[in-house]
């Protein structure tokens, strides 16, 4: 999906939040902001929002000399999620519909997104996971459950650190031998990389690959040949988070997007209000491009 | 006061709102946004936020060829305020503290601000004015009341159209022969110009001047010689709205700012939360520069 004009003030705000997150130096914040404002003035709106976020974070990394500024935040939220895991796993085991509950928890974990909200706290995550158990999720869960049974090459696109620990609970409901999980190729924001998949122990369950890219989404033209082979061969893709939706919503593949709706642009596009826990299916016709 | 980094995403959002307000042409919105992003990348942060807003609106006017894009909105809110006037005037006449109530209504009228919120509605204004009567206002009202008695040359700096009709009620509490009211020199956003002062009948009560400038505030270096003479000679200034605060808060004059606190930057600077109806006094030491 293309970047909308409404994305611009939000991306500029994200730039400032990210600059402040990675450094306390106000002069550096000013330089980064001016640099990104200049880049935004030349923006190709045909690009997706994650393509611009990729530019933002490349510049922040270059300006600070820090290749993984969210390293500590990722660890913190991985540990938090791991600490919550035994209790939630118990609830899933006891649930009438364990697949549905695992899916809900995986979507609730999508709240851990430093792109949208750089001030997310551990208590926000506890609250989101606690509430999801009694909340509905929009989407036909049975359809995904059936699709999982019917397809052979399932590719699961992870989104954020912390969240990926909750993804493990959904993975445990899938036919593991048919699943590959993909993470980002390089650090970008608090998105999950191979290290986080390993922290979650997912590499012991399924094959883990990375996509070769440092975009906070899946920009196919930026992904590695290895990833593209898995992507092309997959007959079912489960894609977590807005970044994957923004980059793949026009893709003619069989994709189930699982995400929390976090901004008005995505609310308008999907037809579900901000805050919705959503499962949205594309068809092979890439219908969401026309929404 | 200088432009903060937090002002930038807000000013970019205001640009988009203003572009959409003045034209339905999406390609024009994109051009205006790119133009302003480029200008923001070169921003001198020593300027006040209204100096950048002035640049934004000059570019919007040039791009659309419309010198007064908020003309209709100004008329609408002037008429709305005029329609509410008899009822409020009655309440002021019956009030225990008519000066205080007139002051409150003048501050409540500051809600009519298309810079901060381009979607302000008539019902927002009715609500704001209705609520203010029972709400407190921060600040020592008796101090202003005393100052009005003690000073000879009172300059009242108006802010927005619509709001200026409510200002009339406060003006009616002042020693009219000692008061001059100043409006903006040219159309900018929905700020009041001479036309609006005349609509409110204020030219029949006090001398009305304009400041010669098209900034949504009072940038002294941009004001006319006539205005500067009145400004220098004034021994008491009553300044409405954030724009006047942002441009005059470091000024070594005897100024009472009357405004609604509308953003976190001003909340941090004044120490009063967003939404506060506030009367804030500077001293001749320009103390607010150090806040």
Q: DSSP per residue over A23-51, as a string?
A: ---HHHHHHHHHHHHHHHHT--TTS-HHH
Q: Show the DSSP H helices in chain B as ranges.
A: 7-22, 26-41, 49-64, 71-94, 98-108, 122-132, 141-150, 163-171, 194-199, 225-233, 241-248, 264-270
**Pair A172, A147: CB distance under 8 Å:** no
- Number of domain units in chain A: 2
* Residue of A6, A37, A42 lying closest to B40 (CB–CB): A37
Boundary of a domain, candidates A64, A86, A103: A64
Q: What's the whole-number mean pLDDT along residues A24-39?
A: 95
Show Cβ contacts of residue B265 under 8 Å, excluding neighbours closer than 6 positions.
Answer: B4, B6, B7, B10, B49
Boundary of a domain, candidates B64, B83, B108: B64
Residues of A in contact with B26 (CB under 8 A): 5
Q: What's the whole-number mean pLDDT along residues A3-31?
A: 94
Beta strand segments in chain A, E: 154-157, 179-183, 207-210, 236-240, 255-260, 277-281
Instruction: Check residue B283 and give its pLDDT.
Output: 61
Q: What's the whole-number mean pLDDT along residues B104-129?
A: 83
Distance between CA atoms of residues A185 and A213, nearest Å:
5
What is the least distance, in Å, from the CA of A44 to any CA of chain B? 10
Instruction: Check residue B131 and give its pLDDT.
Output: 85
Q: Is the pLDDT of residue B195 over 60?
A: yes
Boundary of a domain, candidates A16, A43, A64: A64
Binning pLDDT at 50, 70 and 90, where does residue A38 land?
A: very high
How far is residue A182 from each of residues A191, A197, A231, A234, B250, measured CA to CA in Å?
12, 9, 10, 12, 55
Instruction: Check residue A282 and give its pLDDT.
Output: 80
B12 to chain A, any CB pair closer than 8 A? The answer is: yes
Inspect the interface and report whether the beta carbons of B16 and A34 lie closer than 8 Å: no
Considering A40-54, A108-122, A198-212, the range whose residues carry the highest mean pLDDT is A198-212
Say if B43 falls within a structural domain. yes
Distance between CA atoms of residues A55 and A215, nearest Å:
8
Are residues A105 and A188 located together in one domain of the fold? yes
B29 to chain A, any CB pair closer than 8 A? The answer is: yes
Q: Tokens in use for A15?
A: 């730039």
Instruction: Check residue A85 and give its pLDDT.
Output: 93
Q: Is the pLDDT of residue A284 over 80?
A: no
Are residues B112 and B249 located together in one domain of the fold? yes
Inspect the interface and report whether the beta carbons of B5 and A30 lie closer than 8 Å: yes
pLDDT in tens, B129-138: 888 877 889 9
Inspect the interface and report whether the beta carbons of A13 and B16 lie closer than 8 Å: no
Distance between CA atoms of residues B174 and B148, nearest Å:
7
∠ CA A34-A35-A41, nearest 5°, is: 85
Instruction: Check residue B286 and give its pLDDT.
Output: 47
A271 to chain B, any CB pair closer than 8 A? The answer is: no
pLDDT in tens, B142-184: 999 999 999 999 999 999 999 999 999 999 999 999 999 999 9
Are residues B156 and B183 located together in one domain of the fold? yes
Local structure of A246: helix, strand or coil: helix
Q: Is the pLDDT of residue B290 over 50?
A: no
- Residue A230 parent element (H or E): helix A225-233
Binning pLDDT at 50, 70 and 90, where does residue B225 land?
A: very high
The residue with tokens 């791991």 is: A82
**pTM of the complete model:** 0.87
Inspect the interface and report whether the beta carbons of B6 and A16 lie closer than 8 Å: yes
- Locate the chain A residue with the closest alpha carbon to B36: A41
Are residues B58 and B77 located together in one domain of the fold? no
- Locate the chain B residue with the closest alpha carbon to A40: B37
Say if A2 falls within a structural domain. no
Are residues A88 and A201 located together in one domain of the fold? yes
B30 to chain A, any CB pair closer than 8 A? The answer is: yes
Binning pLDDT at 50, 70 and 90, where does residue B291 land?
A: very low
Binning pLDDT at 50, 70 and 90, where does residue A283 land?
A: low
- Residue B157 parent element (H or E): strand B154-157
What is the least distance, in Å, from the CA of B32 to any CA of chain A? 10
CATH number assigned to the domain comprising residue A43? 1.10.8
Are residues B184 and B208 located together in one domain of the fold? yes
What is the least distance, in Å, from the CA of B40 to any CA of chain A? 6
Say if B1 falls within a structural domain. no
**Pair A197, A180: CB distance under 8 Å:** no
What is the least distance, in Å, from the CA of B15 to any CA of chain A? 9
Q: What's the whole-number mean pLDDT along residues B117-121?
A: 76
Say if A85 falls within a structural domain. yes
Instruction: Check residue A281 and give its pLDDT.
Output: 94
Inspect the interface and report whether the beta carbons of B37 and A33 lie closer than 8 Å: no
Are residues B55 and B86 located together in one domain of the fold? no
> Of B118 and B173, which is predicted with more confidence?
B173
Q: B40 φ, ψ to 5°?
A: -65, -30
> What is the C-alpha end-to-end distance of chain A, expressed in Å?
10
Distance between CA atoms of residues B52 and B255, nearest Å:
23
As beta bridge partners, residue B259 has B278
B16 to chain A, any CB pair closer than 8 A? The answer is: yes
A10 to chain B, any CB pair closer than 8 A? The answer is: yes
pLDDT in tens, A141-191: 999 999 999 999 999 999 999 999 999 999 999 999 999 999 999 999 999
Best residue in A41, A52, A118 for a mutation probing chain B (most B CBs within 10 Å): A41
Q: At what angle do helices B98-108 and B163-171 cross, to 10 degrees?
A: 160
A43 to chain B, any CB pair closer than 8 A? The answer is: yes
Binning pLDDT at 50, 70 and 90, where does residue A291 land?
A: very low
Q: Could you say which DSSP state residue A3 is in?
A: P
Say if A1 falls within a structural domain. no
Are residues B33 and B106 located together in one domain of the fold? no
CATH number assigned to the domain comprising residue B255? 3.40.50.10880
B163 to chain A, any CB pair closer than 8 A? The answer is: no
Distance between CA atoms of residues B247 and B245, nearest Å:
5
Are residues A57 and A119 located together in one domain of the fold? no
Interface A-B, measured as beta-carbon pairs within 8 A, has a size of 55
Distance between CA atoms of residues A227 and A209, nearest Å:
7
B33 to chain A, any CB pair closer than 8 A? The answer is: yes
Please state the ipTM of this predicted complex. Answer: 0.85
Are residues B108 and B249 located together in one domain of the fold? yes
* Residue of B26, B29, B45 lying closest to A30 (CB–CB): B45
Residues of A in contact with B17 (CB under 8 A): none
B141 to chain A, any CB pair closer than 8 A? The answer is: no
Range of the domain at A37: 7-64
Are residues A21 and A84 located together in one domain of the fold? no
Q: What's the whole-number mean pLDDT along residues B39-60?
A: 94
Instruction: Check residue B123 and give its pLDDT.
Output: 84
What is the least distance, in Å, from the CA of B164 to any CA of chain A? 31
Are residues B201 and B227 located together in one domain of the fold? yes
Residues of B in contact with A42 (CB under 8 A): 34
A6 to chain B, any CB pair closer than 8 A? The answer is: yes
Instruction: Check residue A241 and give its pLDDT.
Output: 96
Local structure of B127: helix, strand or coil: helix
Q: A183 φ, ψ to 5°?
A: -115, 175
Say if A215 falls within a structural domain. yes
Residues of B in contact with A26 (CB under 8 A): 5
**Pair B271, B291: CB distance under 8 Å:** yes
Q: Is the pLDDT of residue A289 over 60?
A: no
Binning pLDDT at 50, 70 and 90, where does residue B115 land?
A: confident
Local structure of A284: helix, strand or coil: coil
Instruction: Check residue A286 and give its pLDDT.
Output: 47
Q: Is the pLDDT of residue B53 over 90?
A: yes
DSSP string, B37-100: HHHHHT--TTS-HHHHHHHHHHHHHHHHT-S-TTHHHHHHHHHHHHHHHHHHHHHHHH-SSHHH
Say if A34 falls within a structural domain. yes
Instruction: Check residue A122 and give its pLDDT.
Output: 80
Say if A199 falls within a structural domain. yes
∠ CA A286-A281-A4, nearest 5°, is: 60
Q: A25 φ, ψ to 5°?
A: -85, 110
Q: Is the pLDDT of residue A250 over 50?
A: yes
């Amino acid at each position: 999906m293309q970047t909308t004009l409404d994305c611009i003030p939000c991306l500029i705000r994200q730039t400032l939040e990210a600059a402040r997150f990675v450094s306390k130096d106000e002069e550096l914040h000013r330089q980064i902001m001016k640099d990104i404002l200049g880049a935004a003035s030349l923006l190709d709106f045909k690009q997706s929002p994650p393509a611009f976020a990729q530019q933002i974070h490349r510049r922040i990394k270059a300006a600070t000399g820090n290749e993984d500024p969210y390293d500590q935040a990722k660890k913190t939220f991985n540990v938090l999620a791991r600490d919550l895991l035994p209790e939630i796993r118990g609830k899933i085991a006891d649930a009438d519909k364990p697949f549905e509950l695992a899916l809900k928890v995986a979507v609730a974990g999508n709240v851990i997104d430093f792109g949208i909200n750089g001030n997310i706290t551990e208590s926000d995550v506890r609250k989101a996971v606690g509430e999801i158990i009694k909340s509905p999720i929009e989407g036909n869960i049975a359809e995904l459950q059936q699709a999982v049974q019917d397809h052979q090459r399932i590719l699961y696109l992870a989104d954020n650190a912390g969240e990926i620990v909750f993804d493990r609970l959904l993975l445990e409901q899938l036919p593991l031998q048919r699943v590959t999980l993909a993470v980002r190729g390089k650090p970008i924001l608090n998105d999950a990389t191979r290290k986080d998949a390993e922290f979650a122990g997912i590499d012991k369950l399924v094959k883990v690959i990375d996509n070769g890219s440092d975009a906070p989404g899946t920009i196919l033209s930026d992904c590695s040949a290895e990833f593209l082979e898995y992507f092309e061969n997959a007959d079912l893709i489960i894609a977590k988070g807005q970044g994957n939706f923004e980059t793949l919503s026009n893709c003619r593949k069989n994709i189930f997007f699982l995400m929390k709706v976090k901004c008005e642009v995505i609310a308008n596009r999907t037809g579900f209000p901000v805050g919705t826990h959503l499962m949205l299916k594309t068809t092979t016709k890439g219908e969401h491009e026309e929404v």
